[in-house]
Amino acid sequence: MNAILSNPNCPYCKRFEEDLAKLDDITVYILPWAVVKPESVRQAKAVWCSKDRVKAWNDLMFRRIEPQAPTDCDNPIEKIIEFGRNLGANSTPTWFVETGERYSGAMPLEEVRKLLDGASPPKR
């Protein structure tokens, strides 16, 4: 398990998410953290308000397709901004493993794999 404070205007977030997609047997929680550029807020809200959030996020992140959904649905984007700040995060990507340990940056995939394996050993 891995939770990321991620942003569509952060090239390293894109790389990190691409890398994580290469791993098997992992659940990635993406928290759209709209802090990098002013337009991040609108983009994050539109992603959240999309019917298929994962598709809208991936389209924006990897293909630069702007989400078309309205931004006025009930959404937690402002709450997530506050939440990340309260955790003391000041950079993207900031990510957390199952033990709650916090890491920064798109580390090389092999290092990430080690950290993930260490944080959540096989349960079977």
Partner 1 sequence: MSLRSGVLLVLVAAMLTAAPASAQLLFGPKNELLDPGKAFRISARALDERNVEVEFRIADGYYMYRDRFSFATESGKPLADVEIPRGTPKEDQFFGKTETFRRLVRIRVPISAEDAAKGSVNLKVTSQGCADIGVCYTPLEQTVRVALPRRKPS
Q: Which one, 21 or 70, has the nearer CB to partner 1?
A: 21
Using CA atoms, how far apart are residues 80 and 78, in angstroms rounded to an integer?
5
Q: Are strands 2-6 and 102-104 parallel, antiparallel or unpaired?
A: unpaired
Give bridge partners of residue 121 from the DSSP assignment: none
Only one residue has tokens 């998410």, namely 17
Tokens of 119: 């944080």
Closest CA to 68 of 91, 51, 88: 51
Q: Which of 103, 109, 113, 120 forms a contact with partner 1 (CB under 8 A)?
A: 103
Tokens of 24: 């098997």
Q: Which one, 11 or 70, has the nearer CB to partner 1?
A: 11
Q: Which one, 18 or 70, has the nearer CB to partner 1?
A: 18
74 binds partner 1 (CB under 8 A): no
Q: Which of 39, 54, 68, 73 forms a contact with partner 1 (CB under 8 A)?
A: 54
> What is the phi/psi pair of residue 100, to 5°?
95, -5
43 binds partner 1 (CB under 8 A): no
> Under the rule (CB under 8 A), what is the footprint of partner 1?
3, 9-12, 14-17, 21, 23-32, 35-36, 47-48, 53-54, 57-58, 64, 76, 79-80, 83, 86-93, 96, 99-107, 115
